[in-house]
Amino acid sequence: MMQDAIIWGPLIIKYEWIAIAFSALVAYLAMKYWLKNQINVNKPVMEDISNALFWGFLIWKFSVILFNPVSVLGNPYYLLYFSGGERGIWLAAMVVLGFLYLQAKRRTISFWLYAAAMAVGLLTYRFVYSLFLLVFSNPMQSLLYVLSQLVLAIVLLIWMYSRKENVGNPQAINQLILWFSIGQIFSSFLKGYSSAVFVGLSSEQLFFLAISLCCLFFLNFRKESSIQES
């Protein structure tokens, strides 16, 4: 992780925060570019995504109150420098997906259009943030892991743009999630500090393995349904 910071009097601004903010800005612009041809729906979709991400950020930041209330009550300034961490990210992700699904139903817009735009944003964010890590982090610390995340993001973004017209459907999103999950499983072996939970896999790898199996089941189910219909 990036450790250096800009110290301006009592204010401490970590380079990591700058990297997160800049990566999020580029991801937002990438989503707008992805939706630019969706003239009738691009504005409401981006409005919903922006609102969802704003509330998702607040949930991630302040979920530390749920996960570590003792520290927050003991020192309210704890909220300024800490967040909900990985658990906060997953909580925020579930809220964001739930909100977007409800908005898609309310606006009668395909949820998969939201999903495709969010996927572009996520991959762009990972790409830009990985570049920051390569520049500002210790080059010997998890270098291969960062490079693997960078390459995975580039490959999946190229895949999405190469078949942009067909990405906004459940089958394509399912394939994207499948390859992303497989990439995360193999990429995690390069971290060097993950603790094995079962058969040599960490809890994060087991989570993505479960997602991969669900995606494969969905693909096989769709194939069988197509065969029966024909």
Q: Domain segments of the chain: what residues?
A: 42-108
Mean pLDDT, rounded, for 142-162: 91
Give, as one character, the DSSP assignment of residue 5: E
For residues 23 and 127, what is the distance between their CA atoms, to the nearest angstrom? 8
| Listed residue (18, 177, 185, 200) closest to 112, CA to CA | 177
pLDDT band at 6 (very low <50, low <70, confident <90, very high): low
Mean pLDDT, rounded, for 25-49: 91
Give, as one character, the DSSP assignment of residue 222: H
Per-residue pLDDT reduced to its tens digit, 68-79:
777 767 777 666
Asked if residues 126 and 176 have their Cβ atoms less than 8 Å apart, the reply is no
Q: Comparing 57 with 167, which gets the higher pLDDT? A: 57
pLDDT band at 2 (very low <50, low <70, confident <90, very high): very low
Helix (H, G, I), strand (E, B) or coil at 148: helix
Amino acid letter for position 18: I
pLDDT averaged over every residue in the chain: 83
User: For residue 100, how far is the Cα from the chain centroid?
Assistant: 15
